[in-house]
Amino acid sequence: MGLLDKIQSLIGKKKTEEGDSGAAAVPKSKQTKGSNSLDVEARFERMRSAVSGTMSNFITARDRQYNRVVGLKLCDAEKVATFEARFKGLKKPIEGAIAVQMQHPNVVETYEYGTTKQGQPYLVMEYVDGPGLLQVIQTRKEETLAGKRLSLIRQMAEGMKYVHEKGFIHRDICPRNFICSSDMDRIKLIDFGLTVPALPPYMQPGNRTGTPLYMAPEIVRRRQTDQRVDVFAFGVSIYTLCAFEFPWPVNDTTGKAALQHDTHPPIPILQFRPDLNPVLATAIMRCISPNVQDRMPSMEAFLRQIKGVRSELKSPA
CB 72 within 8 A of CB 44: yes
Task: Identify whether 312 is part of a domain.
Answer: no
pLDDT (tens digit, 0 to 9) for every residue of the chain, 317 residues total?
444 444 444 444 333 333 333 444 444 334 566 768 899 999 999 998 767 777 898 899 999 999 999 999 999 999 999 999 989 889 899 999 999 999 999 999 999 999 999 999 999 999 988 899 999 999 999 999 999 999 999 999 999 999 999 999 999 999 999 999 999 999 999 999 999 999 999 998 877 778 889 999 998 887 889 999 999 999 999 999 999 999 998 876 666 677 777 778 999 999 999 999 999 999 999 999 999 999 999 999 999 999 999 999 987 75
Task: Identify whether 316 is part of a domain.
Answer: no
On whether both 299 and 151 belong to a single domain, the answer is yes
> Residue 65 contacts by C-beta under 8 Å, 6 or more apart in sequence?
24, 43
CB 194 within 8 A of CB 207: no
What SS3 class is residue 144? helix
Task: Identify whether 262 is part of a domain.
Answer: yes
Of the residues 109, 125, 141, the one at which a domain ends: 125
On whether both 209 and 113 belong to a single domain, the answer is no
On whether both 111 and 200 belong to a single domain, the answer is no
CATH number for the domain harbouring residue 186: 1.10.510.10
CB 32 within 8 A of CB 100: yes
Host domain of residue 187 = 133-305
pLDDT at 39: 95
What are the backbone angles phi and psi of residue 83, rounded to the nearest 5°?
A: -65, -45
CATH number for the domain harbouring residue 19: 3.30.200.20
| Other CB atoms within 10 Å distance of the CB of residue 93 | 18
On whether both 110 and 206 belong to a single domain, the answer is no
Helical segments of the chain, H only: 40-43, 77-84, 95-99, 133-139, 142-145, 149-165, 217-220, 228-243, 256-259, 269-272, 278-287, 299-305
Q: How many domains does the chain have?
A: 2
Task: Identify whether 310 is part of a domain.
Answer: no
Task: Identify whether 121 is part of a domain.
Answer: yes
Task: Identify whether 18 is part of a domain.
Answer: yes
